[in-house]
Amino acid sequence: MTEATSKGPGRPSDYSEELADIICERLADGESLRSICRDEGMPHASTVCRWLASDDRTAFREQYARARELQADALFDEALEIADTPVEGVTYKETEKGTYVTRGDMIEHRRLRVDTRKWMVGKLAPKKYGEKLALGSDPDNPLPLVPVINVTVGGGS
């Protein structure tokens, strides 16, 4: 192979339990798969998806699913921390009279970060963190039965 055709070590594409453990541990800590796979020495996200789709990777699929459940818990905790921690920032506002600079808590930015995490945890763990909708009968809180009366309107001859 010549120097012009050599691409160097590149990203790993072969499955290894060591890589799987690192990926799942970082997911469980709240990182996204995309950010994990951006790091040097990590496989591309499409490679991880290929591993998940492989018939002989059942243990990895189970490990990955558990890591995603734990990721929801980590994001939930992170949302609480963001909501409870003021972040001072600078806001610039331009008017006809000039630019005004104000300092203060970046409430809207924090709200966006919290709302994003709330949405994510609702998708990652809908039974635990999703919106509860009463679509069926709950044994502890059954839906009331409403009688239906069949009424014919108009006279028929």
Q: What is the dihedral of CA 95, 100, 106, 107, to 10 degrees?
A: -50
Rounded distance, CA 153 to CA 150, Å? 10
Q: What is the dihedral of CA 136, 138, 144, 147, to 10 degrees?
A: 50
Ordered per-residue pLDDT tens for the chain, 157 residues: 444 444 456 788 899 999 999 999 999 999 999 999 999 999 999 999 999 999 999 999 999 999 999 999 999 999 999 999 988 888 888 888 888 788 888 888 899 999 999 999 999 999 899 887 656 666 777 767 777 777 777 665 5
What is the separation of C-alpha 150 from the centre of its chain, rounded to a whole number of angstroms? 48
